[in-house]
Amino acid sequence: MIRNILVVASLLCFGSPVLAGGDAAKGAELSKTCAACHGADGNSTIPSNPVLAGQYESYIAKALSDYKSGGRQNATMAGFAAALSEQDIRDLAAYFSSQESSLTIPNR
């Protein structure tokens, strides 16, 4: 009985599609919509728009999910995120996290 409970608990924790990785190639296709504000590779040149390139995959996925659910407030992003499936979110997160960031830390 305990063994069955452990198996089910493991499947619930580790078999969740939320934890499944995204496809960066599919994310690259989806990211064309993002390019106007965040740059073609996620390196925004607009100071008010964040650089997505090189960001943690889990952070990007969480942010997009929060925009979609209303947990994070931004009218523009909420509109775009509303149309994304959970797989789209994982794919975009995989793509942007795989890009090299243009951000640098200045020498002091």
For residue range 42-87, what is the model confidence (pLDDT) as tens digits?
999 999 999 999 999 999 999 999 999 999 999 999 999 999 999 9
Q: What integer pLDDT is reported at residue 104 of this predicted model? A: 87
Position 7 confidence tier, pLDDT thresholds 50, 70, 90: very low
The whole-angstrom separation of Cα 84 and Cα 88 is 6
Mean pLDDT to the nearest integer, 85-92: 99
**What is the architecture, at CATH level 2, of domain 21-98?**
Orthogonal Bundle (1.10)
Q: What integer pLDDT is reported at residue 106 of this predicted model? A: 86
Has residue 38 got a pLDDT over 60? yes
Crossing angle (nearest 10°) for helices 75-82 and 57-69: 100
